[in-house]
Structure 1
Amino acid sequence: MTDIPAPIQRMIDATNAGDADAFADAFTEDAYLEDWGKGFHGRDGVRSWDSTDNIGRHSHFEAAGVEQDGDEWVVSLVVTGGGFNGTSDFRFTLDGDRISRMTITP
């Protein structure tokens, strides 16, 4: 499996550690997060999604695959916890050492 880029790995590690501040810090100030069509803007939006759908639901991520697709990275994550359970593709755009866009698809 290809190595997961550091900003994405930090987001995964923060989720698994339940560290909301580290999770938000993995994203740029103007990040965009989309979860199955529902959009969240900026770090405040990222924090909102995190509290209702991720760390707030005690999610745990396990990488099942990673590939680069042009300027994007696609990471298949197995998600377990108190919310969604299953595998989804997460598409990421990076800006330096942070995530500028994360899109979750079924």
Structure 2
Amino acid sequence: MSQDIPAAVQRALTAIDEQDNDAFVAAFAPDGYVNDWGREFRGPDRIRSWSENELIGKQATFTDTQVTVAGNPLTILTQVGGKGFNGPSHFTFAVEDDRLASMTITA
């Protein structure tokens, strides 16, 4: 990706690439959350469970990733693959104090 990506977002993307659920959860602030098409998962335990069932646990892959909105929040468009949802999705990341405050997934 050509645009600068905040370190917290890059840590989450690297964790997904490496299928490392611990690193993925650690990218979030203690009160951070994932909003997956309107379903919200707040805090490390709920984010971990969500990822085990919907993301890293489904061996999700991101390809053809591009930044569509730079800044904070930052939005990427990526092609999701793996054993769960497959198709294009937007991921919007809000960063607070070098950790993810939120990750919101939409069409």
Q: What TM-score comes out, normalization by structure 1 length?
A: 0.91
Equivalent AA in structure 1 for residue 14 of structure 2 = D
State the shift of 1:63 in Å: 5.0
- 1:88 is aligned to 89
Structure 1 unaligned regions, length at least 5:
none
Q: Secondary structure in 2 aligned to 1:18?
A: coil
Q: What is the 5 A alignment of 1:39-50?
A: 39-50=40-51
User: How far apart are the structure 2 equivalents of 1:78 and 1:7?
Assistant: 20
Q: Secondary structure in 1 aligned to 2:63?
A: strand
- Does the CA contact (< 8 Å) of 1:93 and 1:100 recur in 2? yes
Q: What is the 5 A alignment of 1:57-96?
A: 57-62=58-63, 64-66=65-67, 67-68=69-70, 71-96=72-97
CA RMSD in angstroms, aligned pairs only: 1.3
Deviating more after overlay: 54-63 vs 29-38: 54-63
> Percent of aligned pairs with the same residue?
41
Q: Secondary structure in 2 aligned to 1:82?
A: coil
- 1:22 is aligned to 23
Structure 2 unaligned regions, length at least 5:
none
Q: What TM-score comes out, normalization by structure 2 length?
A: 0.90
Deviating more after overlay: 86-95 vs 2-11: 2-11
User: How far apart are the structure 2 equivalents of 1:8 and 1:62?
Assistant: 16
- 2:5 is aligned to 4
**Which runs of 4 or more aligned residues in structure 1 lie more than 6 Å from their structure 2 counterparts after TM superposition?**
none
